[in-house]
Amino acid sequence: MKTHIGEVFSSIQGEGMLLGRRQVFIRFSGCNLNCNYCDTPQSRDPLYGNEISTDELFQRVKKLITPDFHSISLTGGEPLLHADFIKNFLRKYSFDALLETNGALPHELDKIVNLIKYASVDIKLPEHHAVPAVDDLTRWTDLFKIELQSINLLIEEGINSYCKIIVLPSTKVNTVSFIASKIADEVNDASKLSMVIQPVSPLQSWEEHGNKLFEISEKAGEYLDVLTIPQIHKLLNIR
C-alpha cells in the first residue's frame, strides 16, 4: 500500500501539549479544508511529495530516530485522508503516535483511534474561512459539530487528547468562550480535555493585542483547562 507523503523529518515539537518533545514528523499530502492561516499551504496539494509504501516510510523514520526520540507526529495537510495507510503502518510498526487533525473526518478517525497514543484536534473558527471540499460541510456550525464527534471518540477511547484553537488578533473573545462552553457541555468527561490557545504567527502581529490573549484565556478558562502556547519552533527558527 502506498500514499503521498510530503516530507519526513526530525524536529522538536513546537506546539501543544507535547511541546519540546523530539519527534519524527510525517507530513501527509492533501487537505479537506482551506484555512487562511495555514503555514504549510503546499501540503494542501494531494500530490505533494512522493508516493511511498509503509515499509519505505518505516525505513525513513528509522533513520531519523535519535536518543531523545519521543514519538512520531502524523500531520499534514490532513492525515486522516490517509487513514487506511496509517492503520496498516501502525499495525505493522508500533510507534507512539500523535495525530494532528482538524477533526472533520470522524469515520476515518475511527479506523485508527485504537492505534494512536496522543491527539490534537484543531478547532476552526468562523474567521478561518475553512471552506470544506465536500458538500456536507458547507457551514462552520456543521464543521464544529463534527469536530465535537471526533473529540468525543478520542475521549471515549482514552486517548491523551487536547483541542487547539488558532487565534488571530481579530478573533472575538466571545467566539472562543462559546466554543469552550459547547465543548464543556457536549464532550463526555470534558475534564480530561485541555484547550490550547495558539496565537497565530508571526508573533509581531500581537504587539498591540497582547491583552486580548489574557481575555481569551480567562473566558475559555471558565469552562476548560486552558494553556496559551505560541509556535515555539518558529521562535527557534527550526522546522
Domain ranges, ordered by start, for the chain: 2-235
State residue 137's pLDDT score.
43
What is the average pLDDT across 129-146?
68
Q: Which CATH superfamily is domain 2-235 in?
A: Aldolase class I (3.20.20.70)
What is the average pLDDT across 113-138?
77
The radius of gyration computed from the CA coordinates of the chain, to the nearest angstrom, equals 17
- Least confident window among 4-13, 135-144, 160-169: 135-144
Kindly report the pTM of this predicted structure. 0.93
In tens, the pLDDT along 175-189 reads 999 999 999 999 999
Q: Is 70 exposed, middle or buried (0-12, 13-18, 19+ CB in 10 A)?
A: middle
**Strand blocks (E) in the chain:** 2-12, 22-28, 50-53, 69-75, 97-101, 118-123, 160-167, 194-199, 225-228
- Least confident window among 57-66, 98-107, 117-126, 202-211: 202-211
Please provide residue 137's backbone torsions phi and psi, each rounded to the nearest 5 degrees. -125, 60
| Residue 135 binned pLDDT confidence (cut-offs 50, 70, 90) | very low
State residue 127's pLDDT score.
79
State residue 20's pLDDT score.
97
Average pLDDT, the chain: 92
Q: Tell whether the model's pLDDT for residue 131 goes beyond 70.
A: no
